[in-house]
Structure 1
Amino acid sequence: MTSKLLLTFAICRLIVTVGLTVDPSEPLLGVDDQLSVDQFDVETASLDFGLLTRAEPMAVLHPGSAEDIARLVRAAYISSPGFTVSARGHGHSINGQAQTSNGVVIEMSGGSKGRRLGLRKLDKPQVSIKEKHVDVWGGELWIDVLRRTLEHGLAPKSWTDYLYLSVGGTLSNGGISGQAFNHGPQISNVYELDVVTGKGELWTCSEEENSELFHAVLGGLGQFGIITRARIALEPAPQRVRWIRVLYSNFSTFTRDQEDLISLHGNPYSQKFDYVEGFVIVDEGLINNWRSSFFSPRNPVKISSIGANGGVLYCLEITKNYDEATADTIDQEVEALMKRLNFIPSSVFTTDLPYIDFLDRVHKAELKLRAKGLWEVPHPWLNLFVPKSRMADVDRGVFKGILGNNKTSGPILIYPMNKSKWDQRSSVVTPDEDVFYLVALLRSALDNGEETQSLEYLTNQNHKVLRFCDDAGIKVKQYLPHYTTQEEWRDHFGDKWDQFSRRKMEFDPRHILATGQRIFNPPFPPPTRTVSPW
């Protein structure tokens, strides 16, 4: 059977399955072999990084252009009763946000199947040196954007800690890392977008053109359109990074220093660190992992020997960018900044490395975990935005309480951001304080016989954390949010809910897009959710 006959069979199966009726003068797809019902494709699209849910789509689309995506969505929009469409980047979602069981998943990053089919290659990131921006396909991975822009001595301003994520995926959520206190999230560093709406219309939008769609899509969880192109702001890229970690035993001292460092961004004449993050060490064994990420320790460090308060330590992670031409002044600049801090004097660990190596540091850890079979496991992550005024309560109730001194299987991040760097016209919601923290429990569920590292135990801990915040009146906002009822979503968006739902009716009135988020019910049965057996 020829490839064209196979494609025809696949389309016929889709039409019969969903009762699709379209204008016969407009084909569903314009390029052979893009719509796949291959078992490998379908299986890949039915899972994600979280490995917590499974939803098998009817077909997978490997687009060759934005027009291919628009044709598919338009067919879904005009069909009766219809089918859903979910865009999938690198598949790094946690709770099935990019899945659908009654429609088509669009593989935005291409994937191995797309390469095997020999689809025409999408344009590489196009860098404008004069205007200092880069135009990229929505499915492009940030690591490839970085490599391309570095060829011109430029780089995006704001990052995520992990670069093997798609541009469209992070812009649909926010995109945060240790630069967000200064440059804001990735969604605050976008000049222009091309978007396919839920009506199958392809629009260009920006601050000046179709601004309602522009702000809706940024942080919009894929509810209003599929990002096919993004124009990202660039800045001159540094050559090297001074990477420093220091320890604290006192939580208030730790957060006071973090907040002091991010306050320096408002003064253009003051020196400041370029990256400010931190993490919590609740496990005795993690202190040496913290140290060995720089170099192998010869003398193991004990939490008890440092005098940790409540058996918990806090690590401040900071960097200073520099070039070879300014290498002779980096020591003095860092020393001056370090004098502002009140860390444990004996806990300073420092290394220097190329800029790209620092930004891509998590990928090196990924390779090690893959080699041990510890990467493709369930990831019951929980990410919270917490008001600055309630962080001490979170320390007592969560870090020293719920988490205790259990063995953990992943980092617990904690760092502050400035609300002024977030555009409130976007769809993202943040706490109502000028400074708020990310608290990220990035644990992996391991089948190693340890109860405290099992999926059930970690999931229950997450529920306990959320209940604690609710009972204590701590008005947290989930980042990468996951809820199961519209009432919960209404509460999440708060004052933004009316605007969010109005934008949905304007740009995706049939509720075709991103049904895996479970915010709006489609006019046909929703996807089935099951717990993964892995």
Structure 2
Amino acid sequence: MTPPHLPESQPGPADGAGAAPAAFEAVPALDGELRFDSAALDAASGDFGGLVRRPPAAVLRAGSVEDVATMVRHCRQRGLKVAPRGQGHSTNGQAQVPSGLVVDLGSLDSVEVRDDTAVVQAGALWSSVVRASLARGLTPPAFTDYLELSVGGTLSAGGLGGQIGHHGTQADNVLELQVVTGEGEIATCSPAERPDLFRAALGGLGQCAIITRATLALIPAPRSVRLYTLMFRSVTELTARQAQLIGEGRFDYLVGQALPTPDGWTYMMEAASHDGTTADDARLTDDLGAASVEAQDVPYLDFVNRLAETVDVLTAMGEWTRPHPWYDGLLPASAVNGVVTETLAGLKPQAIGASAVILLYPVLTAKCRTPLPVMPGEELAYLFSILRTASPGADSAEEMVAANRRQYDTTVEAGGCWYPIGSVPLTKDDWVRHFGGFWDEFEAARHRYDPDGVLTPGQHIF
């Protein structure tokens, strides 16, 4: 698509937006607003991780996708870097850009449900998408655990959750994207139109294009969910049952956690059946050998958004605003029991923070059809996440990041890979190894669609 003609330039920002640096003193006319004030710059300098601060020179509150394209072209012409930002939920400065432009996509948040699809701007929250689609009796097939994240943000990483055994990642359920490339072109891409751009943008960490709109597949929504909580005594029991259940497709949702006890660790599996009833309990759980089973009925919206209450509690405790050096890795099934057992044996619960969570989710890699995010080379893999919080009395944030790097090395040695949303310092060689067989295609897309390397420098890939 040919970039639209540049409009006449306009002087600087509106009153109260701060003084414009020289590179932004005369910018093209915008539907939104450029901000240079300390409040806007400070908000865009950090992220949820609380580890890295990189002040930008300006923040664009986009009023349209044309604003995004206009400012990417403006910055490219002046040798400035650009980083898109949704909810700022990254944990290691991935959406930051020192002395460059942060594009705040939060104002691009429209949601339109059309038949069995939703056309959604990148700044929309998944909670808004599910509420709009439920009004038509529909739902996106796949969710991450937390719905107060932006559509563009999770699609840029991939989007893993408990429905992956049936529906793959969130990226797997995208039919079409609108993006702004590093050349400032507004482009539409899909599996049939510009497939190389589509493949590089979904899960591509903002390296080739900024996602500005997505067309999402929708499916009929259940009315309620029968949610089971099952406890197991060992990691081998948990993973064996997860492997069985995800292979059978017995449940619509399947995840797991490791929980500390005075004597070590216990293991919880959460499994959900859409529109299930008490009459289904015996068939679904009696043969699983769990130490205990609890069941409850939950309205569907409450189920997919149930982490919101937990976040409210963590916010009240002050835990949600502390540094979060999170780690997320993907292990092949053949290595999961050994790596998890060894990791937990050396992990002191108090060292990883009062609100830390350890996740163990089964992943059918055949359901993950997009080349990104990268998956281990086995049919069954496990997301193993150590979601550390630098609480008082825990290890320091720096110690946690160092531990993440050691965990990454262990994961790679075991044939696994990183799910790249956390806090792990990687070298260029690490990134090349991470992308593996997709690296050449990914690098070619970067050179084609962002030839001057304008976009998303906080990932430190190129």
Q: Please give the range of the TM-score, normalised by the shorter of the 2 chains.
A: over 0.9
Confirm or deny: 8 A CA contact 1:7 1:32 kept in the other structure. Answer: no
Q: TM-score, normalised by structure 1?
A: 0.80
Partner residue of 2:255 out of 270, 277, 280: 277
Confirm or deny: 8 A CA contact 1:160 1:177 kept in the other structure. Answer: yes
**In 1: Cα distance, 2:99 partner to 2:17 partner:** 15
User: What is the CA distance between 1:11 and its match in structure 2?
Assistant: 10
Query: Structure 1 pair 390/162, CA: closer, same or farther in 2 (3 Å)?
Result: same
Partner of 1:361: 306
Query: Structure 1 pair 510/315, CA: closer, same or farther in 2 (3 Å)?
Result: same
Confirm or deny: 8 A CA contact 2:232 2:266 kept in the other structure. Answer: yes
**In 1: Cα distance, 2:27 partner to 2:261 partner:** 54
**In 2: Cα distance, 1:217 partner to 1:239 partner:** 33
* 1:162-199 Cα shifts (integer Å, max 9, x gaps): 00111011001010110011100000000111010000
Partner of 1:314: 267
Confirm or deny: 8 A CA contact 2:13 2:35 kept in the other structure. Answer: no
**In 2: Cα distance, 1:44 partner to 1:404 partner:** 32
Partner of 1:518: 460
**In 1: Cα distance, 2:48 partner to 2:123 partner:** 17
Query: Structure 1 pair 485/123, CA: closer, same or farther in 2 (3 Å)?
Result: closer
Partner of 1:136: 120
User: What is the CA distance between 1:10 and its match in structure 2?
Assistant: 7.5
User: What is the CA distance between 1:334 and its match in structure 2?
Assistant: 3.1
Partner of 1:415: 361
**In 2: Cα distance, 1:235 partner to 1:516 partner:** 35
Partner residue of 2:344 out of 374, 383, 399: 399
Partner of 2:87: 90
Query: Structure 1 pair 39/171, CA: closer, same or farther in 2 (3 Å)?
Result: same
**In 1: Cα distance, 2:398 partner to 2:27 partner:** 43
Partner residue of 1:189 out of 173, 179, 191: 173
Partner of 1:388: 333
Question: Aligned with 1:282: secondary structure?
Answer: strand
Q: What is the 5 A alignment of 1:462-473?
A: 462-469=404-411, 473=413
Q: What is the 5 A alignment of 1:245-284?
A: 245-265=229-249, 272-284=250-262
Confirm or deny: 8 A CA contact 1:86 1:515 kept in the other structure. Answer: yes
**In 2: Cα distance, 1:229 partner to 1:213 partner:** 14
Partner of 2:6: none
Q: What is the 5 A alignment of 1:101-500?
A: 101-110=98-107, 122=108, 124-129=110-115, 132-265=116-249, 272-284=250-262, 311-322=264-275, 330-344=277-291, 347-403=292-348, 408-409=353-354, 410-424=356-370, 426-446=371-391, 448=392, 450=393, 452-469=394-411, 473-480=413-420, 482-500=424-442
**In 2: Cα distance, 1:316 partner to 1:339 partner:** 14
- Residue type matched to 1:475 in 2? G
User: What is the CA distance between 1:32 and its match in structure 2?
Assistant: 6.3
**In 2: Cα distance, 1:86 partner to 1:240 partner:** 39
Unpaired stretches in structure 2, ≥5 consecutive residues: 1-9
Which region of structure 1 is more displaced relative to structure 2, 476-485 or 95-104? 476-485
Partner of 2:3: none
**In 2: Cα distance, 1:343 partner to 1:34 partner:** 56
- Residue type matched to 2:189 in 1? C
User: What is the CA distance between 1:210 and its match in structure 2?
Assistant: 1.3
Unpaired stretches in structure 1, ≥5 consecutive residues: 21-26, 111-121, 266-271, 285-303, 305-310, 521-534
Confirm or deny: 8 A CA contact 2:11 2:27 kept in the other structure. Answer: no
Which region of structure 1 is more displaced relative to structure 2, 452-461 or 86-95? 452-461
Question: Aligned with 2:438: secondary structure?
Answer: helix
Query: Structure 1 pair 394/5, CA: closer, same or farther in 2 (3 Å)?
Result: closer
Q: TM-score, normalised by structure 2?
A: 0.92
**In 2: Cα distance, 1:487 partner to 1:464 partner:** 16
Question: Aligned with 2:415: secondary structure?
Answer: coil
* 1:132-155 Cα shifts (integer Å, max 9, x gaps): 000000111101111111111111
User: What is the CA distance between 1:340 and its match in structure 2?
Assistant: 3.2
Q: Aligned residues: percent identity?
A: 37
Confirm or deny: 8 A CA contact 1:4 1:32 kept in the other structure. Answer: no
- Residue type matched to 2:285 in 1? M
Question: Aligned with 2:90: secondary structure?
Answer: coil
Confirm or deny: 8 A CA contact 2:41 2:59 kept in the other structure. Answer: yes
Query: Structure 1 pair 460/88, CA: closer, same or farther in 2 (3 Å)?
Result: same
User: What is the CA distance between 1:31 and its match in structure 2?
Assistant: 2.7
Matched, 1:39 2:38: yes
- Residue type matched to 2:54 in 1? A
**In 2: Cα distance, 1:283 partner to 1:336 partner:** 30
* 1:495-519 Cα shifts (integer Å, max 9, x gaps): 2211111110011010100101011
Confirm or deny: 8 A CA contact 2:109 2:123 kept in the other structure. Answer: no
Partner residue of 1:506 out of 444, 448, 460: 448
- Residue type matched to 2:53 in 1? R
**In 2: Cα distance, 1:101 partner to 1:408 partner:** 30
Query: Structure 1 pair 378/72, CA: closer, same or farther in 2 (3 Å)?
Result: same
- Residue type matched to 2:298 in 1? L
* 1:15-70 Cα shifts (integer Å, max 9, x gaps): x248x9xxxxxx73323661110111100000100001000000000111111101
User: What is the CA distance between 1:459 and its match in structure 2?
Assistant: 2.9
Query: Structure 1 pair 339/9, CA: closer, same or farther in 2 (3 Å)?
Result: closer
Partner of 1:530: none
Query: Structure 1 pair 138/411, CA: closer, same or farther in 2 (3 Å)?
Result: same
Count matched residues. Answer: 450
Question: Aligned with 1:55: secondary structure?
Answer: coil
Question: Aligned with 2:369: secondary structure?
Answer: coil
Confirm or deny: 8 A CA contact 2:121 2:214 kept in the other structure. Answer: yes
User: What is the CA distance between 1:75 and its match in structure 2?
Assistant: 1.5
User: What is the CA distance between 1:312 and its match in structure 2?
Assistant: 1.7
**In 1: Cα distance, 2:12 partner to 2:238 partner:** 64
Structure 1 moving runs of 4+ over 6 Å: 8-12
Partner of 1:13: 20
Partner of 1:287: none
Question: Aligned with 1:212: secondary structure?
Answer: helix
Query: Structure 1 pair 436/5, CA: closer, same or farther in 2 (3 Å)?
Result: closer
Give me the CA root mean square deviation.
2.2
Confirm or deny: 8 A CA contact 1:60 1:105 kept in the other structure. Answer: yes
Confirm or deny: 8 A CA contact 2:328 2:383 kept in the other structure. Answer: yes
- Residue type matched to 1:102 in 2? S
